[in-house]
A = this chain, B = another copy of it.
Amino acid sequence: MASKDRILRLKEETRVNILDAAFKIVKEEGWQALSMRKIAEEIEYTAPIIYEYFSNKEAILAELNKKGYLLLMEEITAAKNAHELPAEQLEAIWMAYWNFAFKERELYQLMFGVSMNCCMAQKSPEVEAPALLVSEVIKRLMNGANPSDNDVCRRYYTFWSVVHGLVSINLVNRGVSDQLNKQILKDTIGGIIRSITG
């Protein structure tokens, strides 16, 4: 009977509604505000209903995660296809990645484990000390060029980005071998130093 199909379509529809509601809440109020009861309220049901469509909250997050990757894939594919030369493609791809992260920051947080409620924001002497120490060394390395604060800062963030990026990828992923990581680390740091000293 065709009514079976209609019912299946309705079921699929509320499944989508649940995901949309979750996404809307996260966009408007952030991840910490996402709760099963709030999703239920949004779709005008009670909370236990959601468990007919998703085995638990984590399953909803997994689905949104997938959605994020599909969106990212769209963006970087378009960026790639806008160019011919691989060098230009690569630059466009990573620019698209960057833009995606800020256009869909909530999805990016979910996808790559960037937590929201971290203490780094609040400034204090203890928190700022490492940056100062490293910046001093960078300044010494560049002392021939008489660098501005902006230059030093740029170099500091370049170092920090690579290392923190590689660290956090490994903390959440545990994918690549330690040997490969150390190699990447040494090579890249060496590269930045050479690019400074010329």
Task: List A112-137 residues whose CB lies under 8 Å from chain B.
Answer: 112-122, 124, 126-127, 129-130, 133-134, 137
- Report whether A119 and B126 are in contact in the complex, using a CB–CB cutoff of 8 Å: no
Do A129 and B91 touch across chains, with their CB atoms under 8 A apart?
Answer: no
- The 8 Å CB contact of A76, one of B133, B176, B186, is B133
Seed contacts A90-B137, A91-B193; 18 additional CB < 8 Å A-B pairs: A62-B122, A66-B124, A77-B133, A86-B137, A87-B197, A90-B134, A90-B138, A94-B189, A98-B163, A114-B167, A120-B173, A121-B172, A154-B184, A158-B188, A161-B161, A161-B169, A163-B165, A168-B168
- Taking the closest CB of chain B, its distance from the CB of A59, in whole angstroms, is 10
Q: Is the CB–CB distance between A110 and B119 below 8 Å?
A: yes
Contact partners of A187 in chain B: CB under 8 A: 154, 158
- Is A70 in the interface zone, CB < 8 Å from B? yes
Docked CA distance A157–B165 (Å): 9
Interface residues on A, range: 35 or more
Indicate if A40 sits at the interface (CB-CB under 8 A).
no
Count of this chain's copies in the oligomeric assembly: 2
Provide the residues of chain B in CB contact with A80, threshold 8 Å. 133, 137
B172 near A114 with CB under 8 A, answer yes
Interface of A is mostly: helix
Contact of A176 among B66, B157, B180 (CB under 8 A): B157
Do B86 and A140 have beta carbons less than 8 Å apart?
yes
- Chain B residues closer than 8 Å to A110, beta-carbon distance: 118-119
Interface stretch of the complex, out of A5-13, A16-24, A43-51, A101-109: A101-109
Residues of B within 8 A of A138 (CB): 86, 90
Shortest CB distance A39–B (Å): 18
**A80-B133, A89-B137 known; A105 vs B171 contact (CB < 8 Å):** yes
